Structure 1
Amino acid sequence: MLRVGVVSDSHRRFGKVASMRAQCGRLDWLLHAGDHLTDAPRIAEAVGVEPDRVRAVAGNCDFPETEPAELLLELAGVRILLVHGHQHGVKTGPQRLLYRAQEVGARVAVFGHSHIPFLEDVGGVLLLNPGSLSMPRRPQDPPSCAVLELVDGAVRAYHVFLGV
């Protein structure tokens, strides 16, 4: 089984990374869905992920944009679309992102931007927002990340609420 840590919206704040390592356990890959994507290598090192197994996309707070705004990758036979979400209007709903994922044949669409955890399978596309690693939007939400488990083309995902 391949275990993928998913983070977004870290905003140069690392206070919950130790909790992430403790609560998520072994991770094989790290995906960062933008807004301070340059945090990704530091987070990966702290949670034990090798540098060549880190992928990140630029968000609306990444200046200058040093990485692409969209990545399509395949891990363990699962096609994953990685975006920040600001270009897909995710704060008003996931519909445009869903269409994009269907267009590129993705089984999983990972996004951030809203700082609100989201997990829903819609028409065979798993839409996953890990929430914010450092700045949750809603008062009732603690900082969060997600774990994506992939095995032989099958997908399972869940949120991890840090420090809870």
Structure 2
Amino acid sequence: MTKVLIISDSHGLTEEFAHIKERHQLKYMIHCGDSELGPDDPLLDDFYKVGGNCDFDPRYPEEQLINIDGLRFFVTHGHLHHVKTNLMTISYRAKEENAQVICFGHTHIAGAEHVDKQLFINPGSIRMPRNRKEKTYAIMEWDSPEDVTVNFYSIDGKPVEELKCNASF
């Protein structure tokens, strides 16, 4: 089974971030920006990462394309695609890159939604969540692209069942 840890908007947290990384020890890990850490920080080792509006180091890419076990991921923070307004711009950009999975942050609102052959994942924030009390991150897992599950967890590793999403490509 392939698993991908997806985290965003950690805004300078280090101890909690380290615990999440250690708890899961996954091969694939994505940070969707606003870590407020330098891109060379050891905590971000082994992460695919992008810069957010609070990451000022120009070495951060604005977006990343990642192919993992049959699925193509488009990763960006979201501020350049106006995700606080709607997901149309980010959806079009992902389609231009033939990506099925869109990982983003910026809004601090956890959620996943499968729409028109695209899976949108916002892991929320492990520092300052919005619209719910839990500080969250996500893990996407699949044996095949026809059976994908996105599970959300609170910062202490407890599942947040009502956010769970299933998708098929």
TM-score after normalising by structure 1? 0.83
SS class of match (2:84): helix
Q: Which residue in 1 is equivalent to 2:6? A: 6
Matched, 1:146 2:145: no
Q: Which residue in 2 is equivalent to 1:90? A: 83
d(CA) in 2 for partners of 1:80, 1:15: 27
Matched, 1:125 2:124: no
Alpha-carbon distance change, 124 to 159 in structure 1, aligned in 2, over 3 angstroms: same
Q: Which has the higher contact order (CA 8 A, sep 6+)?
A: 1
Matched, 1:109 2:102: yes
Q: Which residue in 2 is equivalent to 1:38? A: 37
Q: Does the CA contact (< 8 Å) of 2:10 and 2:17 recur in 1? A: no
SS class of match (1:90): coil
RMSD across aligned C-alpha pairs, in angstroms? 2.2
Q: Which runs of 4+ in 1 moved over 6 A?
A: none
**Number of corresponding residues:** 155
In structure 2, list runs of 5 or more residues that go unmatched. 159-169
TM-score after normalising by structure 2? 0.81
Deviation, 1:159, is: 1.3
Greater fraction of residues in helix: 1
Q: Does the CA contact (< 8 Å) of 1:9 and 1:35 recur in 2? A: yes
Matched, 1:68 2:61: yes
SS class of match (1:91): coil
Deviation, 1:18, is: 6.1
Alpha-carbon distance change, 21 to 71 in structure 1, aligned in 2, over 3 angstroms: closer
d(CA) in 2 for partners of 1:14, 1:125: 32
d(CA) in 2 for partners of 1:61, 1:109: 20
Q: Does the CA contact (< 8 Å) of 1:119 and 1:127 recur in 2? A: yes
Deviation, 1:93, is: 1.8
Counterpart amino acid of residue 105 in structure 1 = N
Identity %: 34
